[in-house]
Structure 1
Amino acid sequence: MENFKRRHSKLINSSRLLYQEYSDVVLNKAIQSQKRVDSFTEDIESSFPSSPRLRRKVLSPQDSYLQRLSVSSNASLWQDIPMIRGSRMLLNMSRDEQKLQEAKFELIMSEASYLRSLNVAVDHFQRSAELQAMLTNQERQWLFSRLHDVRDVSASFLFDLEEKFEEDMFTFHVCDVALKHAPEFRRVYLPYVTNQTYQEQTFQRLLNGNAGFQQVLERLESDPVCQRLSLKSFLILPFQRITRLKLLLQNILKRTRPGSEEEVQATQAYDALEKLIKDCNENVQRMKSTEELIYLSQKIEFECKIFPLISQSRRLVKCGELTALDFNTLSPKWKVTTRPIYLHLFNDCLLLSRPKEGGRFVVFDHAAFSDVRGEKCEMKLHGTNKNVFRLFLLQNYQRKRVEFLFRTETHSEKLRWISALAPPRGELDLLECPDAPQVQCIKTYKARENDELALEKADIIMVMQYSNDGWMEGVKLSDRERGWFPSEHVELISSKQARQKNLKEEQRVKNAKQQVFCKK
């Protein structure tokens, strides 16, 4: 990083769009591409992953393409490069080979747009003297973390990508560059993403309780350089980019020739990013879980056998208040009485409590997670007792078997509790579910509860079950993450051929990893 200041990207101004809008345009095009596959109307030109198009300027033909792009208002397709368009080499390329080069060019162009946004985040916001004056040293650290380091790593990465591209515009490689920079990605992204909880809390606290911060922020965000985008949209860029970079590498991997050196490099780079994202998510989850446990330990008291609540390996899976139904079998009409019970389901145990005022809980029973079962209830109950399920404690803290009948407010809550209480599942073999429904995300969804699935535009999800009130449980094909999400954020993929194509592509990635990492 010592020579960072001497490195200047030629692509940094290749588009007027900042990464937030650039990414949105590209993802919308990916959604449309999937729809074309779904409706069997995909054509050669529209199938290429494309970049946002703006009006072009007339440029001197003797300039290099990167120099031309640096003063152009258009982020173009690889096939639009004058040297490429109409060339014999392009004409001799197969459609798949052309798609591979477009996928690699998309990675370069998107990194340029990302760096442009990072420059705004660092130079306009983080280094603002006005904003600095409103923050303590600790608040600066929590709010911006190591954003300048993230920017420097992106600049170095883009410079090396550009060098590769200029060496050979027809058959340039990018995965070896990504693999080379993977240790630097880990060095800066892991601490930045891990700081997410503190960043969000600090930002919200300043926004709600610091009038000076609000005023300065409004002035900074109104500057044309921000293009009407908020500081928060800049702060979350590293989270979004590291995930997007993994998907771009995955897209390249799917298009490489099996057994080639490029396939090996793409697989290794993809695996490095996948492990980094997994470690980032685990760190965030660990910090969140620790905070939840500390908070709960102050709100919970035990009237039964006490056990220490705070544990490094414990995490909250699901919690909520349910209505317990008790039947008086001595009554000729089986009179039903109800009482509220609050469940705290952790990855290793379940607590059953009576809720009290002030958000406090009195635990009256608990059991190990391995001794808990949730089942659908087949009893036909009248009135409001519709969404019911059975909860079995095969062995509670007194070593007794206990059974409860619970009612939830909605059908989705009933299904979500039964799913959360199910024994741990092994990794899903996608090829064993060829007829399972698939949906595509058309609107980003941020998970609000621990059993929900965060979605980004263009994500493909295999649906495992759905409720009658607009919720689905599914598995993302790209990373096998499982959870619940609102159906209004997705669209059904109706074509069987399109679903099979999606499964085949994901299996292609899995096979490549097995070939590369399981060699003797």
Structure 2
Amino acid sequence: MREELESNLLCDMLCDVIHRHTSSHFGAYVDYIRNMPYQEQTMHNLGRKNPQIMEILRELQDDQRCYRLPLKSFLVLPFQRITRLKILIENILKSTEQGSERQMSAEKALRALIKALPLVSSSRWLVRQGQLAQLSEKENIFGHRKLCHIYLFLFNDLLLVTTRKGMDRFVVRDHVHRSLIEVSEGLEEKEDLECASWERMFCLALLKNQRGTTSQFLLQASTHAEKITWMEVLSHRVDGMEGIYEEWDCPQVRCTEVYVAQQPGELSVQLGDTINVIQKTADGFLEGRRLVDGERGWFPDYCAVQVTNEYVQRKHLRQRRHVLQTANRILNRRHTVAQATACFR
């Protein structure tokens, strides 16, 4: 960003820089923020064991180059810069021309930045959490399949697959958007399992995890009732079949015409506005929330066109998986019939 500012006072490429680093290098910020509580605990333990360390810190903080600020204020700077970047992009959007390349660049950077923000959010809440047993796919040298414990955190828009590392510490093994979860019965054929019970098992598939790949977990609940509960809550998804969408998984439109609100509850839109659609009606109206300022209201669908956002991509991914699964079942059925026919010849 500093190099861009020195080369061009208008900062035309500033949002591109933010988007590039947010998409590729944001993991360092996430790890740093995740470790902040342990930084504070380490400093507390060091000060308790060796008071001289606190004296040295006070001397450093009194230095003019530190502006008499405590060490903690410097440790939280990375986190503060993330929120400032969001404010910066929002201000850029307010001053850019509607439909311009600069506006599209700023919106792309803002979406990437919001997506990369830490787990805690006012729009995210915990739906269910709990421990399950995972059955390994491969057998060991004795022909047995191993069971290990995992801990699931299901939020309204996100699933975390973790391993417990203490009373209140967890290591995230995998995570996925909630709309990219598929659940099914655990075993197509009943097996004699020494360490597990097929009646309490189900399969959890993450269609596109944080690595961009598909991962599957064969899980066992403690009771059959718990299995049913987990399968219901994991498979629950509003797909907009009645024109109602979850705000964390909804279509997105870009306005192609200006519309001025005619009555209370409607939303005035400008050319190029990007809006998340929350609800559709049969008479041609959309309810949405504008991405830039969060304002919500109704507007006619003729003044906007749907854009290919993550909602559309996830929908296509689910449809592709279902087609492949159906094709595999048909091929397996044909193979079984062919084998049976050959046996009777």
| Interval containing the TM-score (normalised by the shorter chain) | 0.3 to 0.5
Structure with higher strand content: 2
TM-score normalised according to structure 2 size: 0.37
More helix by share: 1
Q: Taking CA–CA contacts closer than 8 Å with sequence separation of 6 or more, which of the two structures ends up with the larger relative contact order?
A: 1
